[in-house]
Every structure is written in C-alpha cells, then in structure tokens.
C-alpha cells in the first residue's frame, strides 16, 4: 500500500533577540527576501528559490530558539489522513485557522512529538509574489545576495525519546531513515530522516531536555558557495562553530555558525541522493565524531552542549 507523503519542511518560526540586527543577517548575509510583517511584528522571509509564500518567520522574544516547524503535505486528503494517524499515534492535535498567524498559509494541524517539539502540517499555502520564473525562466529573477541560500533545507532537534519521534516520522509522515547512530547498548543516539531524495529533512539527537533545537540548515549550491559563506562569516564577524567541513553522515558540506540572536545556522551543500530502497547506514556512537566532522574526526564540545 502506498503511503502518504510530506513534501518538505516548509515553514519554521524562530525566536530572535534583536530583530533589526538579526533580520539584517537573514536578509543581507544569508540572502533571504523579506516577504511581509505580521500585525504583531513578526517578519516573514523566504529564499530566492522557494515558491511558497514564506518559509521562515522571525519573532522577537527573550530567548532564542524554535517555536515550531511545519511540513507541507501533498493535499487535503493526506492532511486529514495524517491528522487522524497522528491522533491514533497518541498525540493531541489542534488546528490553526487559515491566514491567522502565518500570512498566506491555509489550515494547519499542530501537535507535540515525543522530543517536545511542536510540529505542524498543512497543504495549502499561497505562492509568493516573488518566486522563480515560470515562463522561459532565467536561473534567477533577481541576483541572489550574500550566501545565496536557495531554500530552507533541514533542522536538527534535541530532546528525549528520539526513537519514538523517528517512528512517528516514518509511520505517520511517510518518511524514511537513511542514517542512524546507536550507542553501545543499541539505543538510538541520533537519527537522520527524510521524506524525499534529500539525505535529511530533519534529524534528532537524544538529549534530556525537551524541545531544543541545535540548528536550522539552509541549502547552498555547492562547495564553492560554502567557501563564499565562510568568507562572509569572517567579514561580518559572525561567530563560527565549525567548518567548512564535511559530514560523513549525509555527506553534506557544511558550516555551523551563530546568527546574531544565537540561533545556530548551518549552510549546507551536497549530500547524497537518498532513495527509500537504499539500505540504512548505521553509525556507532564511538565513530560519531568522524560521522559528524569527517575531516577532524572529533566531536567538538559545542556540538553536544550548545542548543537553544
């Protein structure tokens, strides 16, 4: 039997401490476009290569971090099926009415997963006014800025009981799990999960505190774009965490750094083409350093310790 599909993680709402300075980063360094502002002062942004209304919402708050992530699914029937499946899985589902807090978005269903994160699902969202061309299109409509992030790519969430969250993504969201990392006693330490051919749409690391986010990943075109992003990190005096480097896990090329509000951002390129029939790659916890940071082979302390 064919299963329902999520199309992609399509929206993330992040808390920021200094809206102007942080917005300058997202717009002029990362390269997103500001789409609109909400009546309560949040700012909606999108990457130049995305079609939908917006993919990132910034909200002024006292702490940095993640409010929620929302996944686009492939139609209203899937949306209702997934709502029912979520409830059957054991999570209470609430409903956000269309066009309330996220301009351009239709009805969303929300719920909290085992790791303490709020996930949402939706199938309807307006096209943005500014999107890739459709009639004899050039490769972009307006020259990309800064790091030239092409789209929201993935996020890494920290929390307890990732095994259940992983199972939820498979059973309810129709995703598969290209790579996992297990502790010596066989329990899940980390898991990389996708709903399509990207090696991950999201990932989890087992962590005692619920609802934490490690980083949000934006996609760059290639290793040269990663180098350009590193130059911009240096020139703009952003705080580097690690990189440019490669993950053996997903094979992605990567830099981690912090935006001005302290949310860790990854700019990410490459990665293998993930197919659901490929065998799962399995990492031992003792090899995780090499899996994460292939060149040094060592986990940096900040990877395990700093989350928002």
φ, ψ dihedrals at 252, nearest 5°:
-70, 155
DSSP state of 286: G
Among the listed residues 222, 261, 262, the one whose alpha carbon sits nearest the alpha carbon of residue 244 = 222
Closest to a second copy by CB, 114 vs 288, is: 288
β-pair partners for 188? 182
Closest to a second copy by CB, 84 vs 295, is: 295
Q: Helix 162-171 and helix 76-89: axis angle, to 10°?
A: 140
Q: Is 214 a catalytic residue?
A: no
| Ramachandran sector of residue 204 (left: φ over 0; alpha: ψ -120 to 50; beta: rest) | beta
Residue 18: CB minimum distance to a second copy, A? 21
Q: Is 54 a catalytic residue?
A: no
Q: How many residues does the chain have?
A: 308
Catalytic residue among 54, 117, 200, 214: 200
Residue 52: CB minimum distance to a second copy, A? 8
Q: Is 26 a catalytic residue?
A: no
Please, which residues have CB within 8 angstroms of residue 286's CB and are 6 or more apart in sequence? 184
Cβ atoms of residues 65 and 212 within 8 Å: yes
Q: Is 247 a catalytic residue?
A: yes
Residue 268: CB minimum distance to a second copy, A? 13
User: Tokens 């749409």 map to which residue?
Assistant: 201
- Give the binding site for a second copy (CB under 8 A): 1-5, 7-8, 49, 51, 72, 74, 77-78, 127, 132-140, 143, 150-151, 196-198, 219, 221-224, 227, 230-231, 233-235, 237, 240, 243-246, 248, 251, 253, 255, 270, 272-273, 275-284, 287, 290-291, 294-297
Among the listed residues 50, 52, 64, 54, the one whose alpha carbon sits nearest the alpha carbon of residue 21 = 64
Catalytic residue among 154, 179, 214, 259: 154
Closest to a second copy by CB, 114 vs 232, is: 232
Q: Is 206 a catalytic residue?
A: no
Closest to a second copy by CB, 109 vs 219, is: 219
Residue 305: CB minimum distance to a second copy, A? 17
Please, which residues have CB within 8 angstroms of residue 67's CB and are 6 or more apart in sequence? 13, 14, 15, 59, 118
Q: Is 215 a catalytic residue?
A: yes
Residue 135: CB minimum distance to a second copy, A? 6
β-pair partners for 154? 217
Closest to a second copy by CB, 41 vs 140, is: 140
Provide the annotated active-site residues: 154, 200, 215, 247, 256, 266
């Amino acid at each position: 039997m064919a299963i329902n599909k999520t199309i992609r993680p399509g929206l993330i709402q992040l808390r920021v401490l200094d809206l102007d300075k942080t917005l300058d980063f997202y717009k002029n360094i990362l390269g997103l476009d500001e789409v609109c502002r909400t009546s309560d002062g949040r700012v909606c942004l999108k990457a130049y290569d995305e079609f939908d209304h917006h993919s990132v919402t910034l909200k002024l708050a006292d702490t940095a971090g993640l409010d929620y992530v929302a996944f686009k699914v492939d139609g209203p029937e899937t949306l209702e099926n997934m709502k029912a499946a979520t409830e059957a899985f054991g999570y209470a589902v609430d409903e956000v009415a269309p066009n309330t807090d996220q301009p351009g978005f239709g009805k969303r269903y929300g719920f909290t997963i085992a790791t303490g994160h709020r996930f949402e699902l939706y199938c309807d969202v307006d096209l943005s006014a500014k999107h890739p061309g459709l009639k004899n299109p050039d490769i972009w409509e307006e020259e990309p800025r800064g790091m030239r992030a092409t789209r929201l790519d993935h996020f890494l969430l920290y929390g307890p009981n990732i095994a259940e969250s992983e199972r939820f993504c498979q059973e309810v969201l129709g995703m598969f799990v290209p790579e996992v990392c297990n502790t010596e006693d066989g329990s899940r330490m980390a898991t990389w999960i996708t709903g399509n051919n990207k090696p991950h749409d999201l990932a989890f690391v087992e962590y005692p505190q619920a609802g934490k986010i490690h980083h949000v990943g934006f996609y760059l075109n290639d290793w040269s774009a990663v180098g350009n992003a590193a130059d911009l990190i240096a020139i703009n005096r952003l705080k580097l965490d690690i990189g440019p480097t490669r993950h053996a896990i997903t094979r992605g090329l990567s830099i981690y750094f912090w935006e001005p509000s302290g949310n860790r951002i990854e700019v990410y390129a490459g990665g293998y083409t993930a197919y659901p029939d490929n065998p799962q790659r399995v990492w031992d916890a003792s090899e995780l350093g090499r899996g994460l940071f292939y060149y040094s082979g060592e986990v940096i302390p900040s990877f395990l310790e700093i989350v928002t």
